[in-house]
Structure 1
Amino acid sequence: MPTRNARVLFNEVPTGYPEPGKTDKYDDSQTIDLENVPLNGGFLVKILYLSIDPYMRGRMRAPTTKSYSPPFTIGEPLQNNGVGVIIRSENPDIKAGDHVHGFFPFQEYYVTANAKAYRVLPKDQNIPWSVYLGACGMTGKTAYYGWTAYAEAKKGETVFVSTGAGPVGSVVIQLAKKQGLKVIASAGSDEKVEFMKSIGADVAFNYKKESTKEVLEKNGPINIYWDHVGGQTLEAAIDAAAPYARFIECGMISQYNVSAENPPYAPKNLTQIVGKCLNLRGFLVTPLEEKYRDEFYATIPPMVAKGEIKFLEDITEGLEGTGKAIYEVQAGKNHGKSIIRVAAE
């Protein structure tokens, strides 16, 4: 019996912000025979949740433009981290009914034989499956790996976290507070400011209403800056940095959707990097995976299960909403970890 296998395809390279229904295309023309589709030693996954992350914008480019991650292919499904449940399996290590986390195309069902690319999730941690895309998944890893590897945090120091209400920034705030740091955090709405306060931020402000430069001048100097934004926010952090401050460069979303009408902002005070002996460190999760993965899973999911790490989720129902969710993440309109709920179990 054929079953619909809807997909979300990469349709065209955007200029500036991705446009829902133009950058992406929802396609429900394909079907799959769940009972008879060949597995060839692999397994059939029903995809339940898919993650929407800022870095996906960087993959929406022409193949000739080089970057650290491969570009999406026009006419093929988007791809990102997801969680699914196994329908059928010919692999002895992955059984029907198991839930797995890994990289999936944006579609409803998927057959793969690459078992090494997927982690079978524990059934006894009392954690919703979607959270393995947030605090217990890549965004939690981003916060934990980067903070553990590069913060060199000391009790009593001051950290500034931009996009502090986001899925990475909110975990960074909580890790910093547990180590006894003073936390300054920014976000783009009053609702997000209240969330940052609720998870321990000592100084939380709406950068659309208050000057980042003035807030940092008043509450700094800062010893650590966790950067998601770049541009003018990075410039303000450099001005407010103490000598030998550590800058952890996680993202620069202010630069992701630039165009002729919205050119990139170049910080004008980079000479202070020399004068203040600043350490600016860019990082990616993948190179740190082998070193910190086991430590992460032993530490963060149990904390989440006990309520010691709090999080927000922004769940969109159905693959049809993918384009809108991608745009909202780029525009900062999401409230928490952006996730597509592809299907119920």
Structure 2
Amino acid sequence: MAPTRNSAIIFNEVPTGYPEPGKTTIFDENRTIDLENVPLNGGVLLKVLVVSNDPYLRGKMRDASIASYSDAFKIGAPLSNFAVGRVVRSEAEAFKVGDHVASFLNFEEYTVMPGAALSWVTKLDNKVNLPWSVYVGAAGMPGRTAYSAYHEFSKAKKGETIFVSTGAGAVGSLVIQIAKRDGLKVIGSAGSDDKVAFMKEIGADVAFNYKTTSTDEILAKEGPIDIYWDNVGGATLDSALGHMNVNGRIINCGMISAYNTKEPYAFKNIMRIVTHSLSLNGFIESRIGPKHSEKFYREFVPLLANGEVKYREEKTPLAEAGEAIRKIQMGENIAKSVIVVAED
């Protein structure tokens, strides 16, 4: 059999600011793979269908000598992230041709998961018949992030107030809906009027555009807040600190305001952690997710399927993934960003 095209998004160079398509990453459509003879080493050959595009990928676009909680991307190799694929060849008893799986896969058309890596591969039964793209979004890592950290750290009580930054994003929009189902008053911020409208649609009691409205003024009027879900860091975190209730809880999911700059933010309200007896929890989903995973798939995923919990997706073909990565870092995406590699 003739070699088959195996296009990929390649990490080309470490960016100094925002990642640039064609420079930070390149689309290589000249790569090939021998589907019949490529060694599997006891594993599986997958046709990659969809890959998640997430803000945290910027942290992996660094010099490999800089240590962090996850490995840096390798120059000249494909990017990788949470993805869904379909088995096209298998040497593993647990996986059959045609099975759909979720794992950490390359941004490429076909990829091999050797036997030694199969512990990271999960078979998807999809009994609720969701589109496969949802399993890299609301029913995947972003969904588990919202669900597990909220239940792990929020200690939410009915009637309390939560502030969610990036409230129209893949994670924040689910936090808003989980909190509303818990009976909380929800304040959400985002960077466009379209995103504000979406936050209102999914139940936020107060939704505002932080680019045109003062976060401090909103929180002074609508607070104090008992829980702050932080996706932003910097000035937004500082504002939240200034309006927290005594014994408030801060859940740090991400700090995208610092991902593309080396300038540290000078906090003005950080002493309130002491004076207001605040708790602050950062987390990595893979460390707390397994504790909540069974309940997430049993109770939360069906809510996505029946429409009780809403989600939005913004789909981009593989060839344009570099631009999608840039957009998400600059906050220009309007929904959960999904890279579509192939149809089923």
Cα distance, 1:202 vs structure 2: 0.1
Match of 2:173 among 170, 174, 193: 170
2:146 is equivalent to residue 147 of structure 1: no
Partner AA of 1:335 in structure 2: I
Structure 1 spans left out of the alignment, 5+ residues: none
Moved more, 115-124 or 9-18: 115-124
For residue 332 of structure 2, what is the aligned residue in structure 1? 333
C-alpha distance in 1 between matches for 2:22 and 2:47: 24
Match of 1:229 among 217, 227, 232: 232
Cα distance, 1:35 vs structure 2: 2.5
For residue 312 of structure 1, what is the aligned residue in structure 2? 312
C-alpha distance in 2 between matches for 1:25 and 1:258: 22
C-alpha distance in 1 between matches for 2:46 and 2:9: 17
C-alpha distance in 2 between matches for 1:295 and 1:104: 25
Structure 2 spans left out of the alignment, 5+ residues: none
Partner AA of 1:298 in structure 2: R
The alpha-carbon distance between structure 1 residues 38 and 63, as it changes in their structure 2 partners (threshold 3 A), is closer
Secondary structure at 1:309 match in 2: coil
Question: Residue deviations 1:237-269, cap 9 Å, x none?
Answer: 01111111000011000000004xxx3322211
Task: After TM superposition, list the pairs within 5 Å mapping 1:1-345 onto structure 2.
Answer: 1-113=2-114, 114-259=117-262, 263-317=263-317, 319-345=318-344
Runs of 4+ aligned structure 1 residues displaced above 6 Å come to: none
Cα distance, 1:37 vs structure 2: 2.5
Partner AA of 1:235 in structure 2: D
User: CA RMSD for the aligned pairs?
Assistant: 1.0
Cα distance, 1:296 vs structure 2: 1.3
Cα distance, 1:29 vs structure 2: 2.0
Partner AA of 2:232 in structure 1: V
Secondary structure at 1:155 match in 2: coil
Partner AA of 1:237 in structure 2: A
Partner AA of 2:328 in structure 1: V
C-alpha distance in 2 between matches for 1:86 and 1:286: 24
Moved more, 219-228 or 80-89: 80-89
User: Normalized against structure 2, the TM-score is what?
Assistant: 0.97
Cα distance, 1:39 vs structure 2: 2.4
Cα distance, 1:42 vs structure 2: 1.5
C-alpha distance in 1 between matches for 2:40 and 2:274: 57
Secondary structure at 1:340 match in 2: strand
Moved more, 156-165 or 118-127: 118-127
Contact 2:145/2:289 (<8 A) preserved: no
The alpha-carbon distance between structure 1 residues 138 and 123, as it changes in their structure 2 partners (threshold 3 A), is closer
Contact 2:166/2:231 (<8 A) preserved: yes
Question: Residue deviations 1:36-73, cap 9 Å, x none?
Answer: 32323211100010111111000111122121111111
C-alpha distance in 1 between matches for 2:62 and 2:127: 41
* Aligned positions, number: 341
Partner AA of 1:102 in structure 2: S
Contact 2:47/2:109 (<8 A) preserved: yes
The percentage of counterpart residues that share the same residue type is 55
Question: Residue deviations 1:82-131, cap 9 Å, x none?
Answer: 11111111212111111111100111101122222111111431100000
Partner AA of 2:68 in structure 1: S
Contact 2:230/2:253 (<8 A) preserved: yes
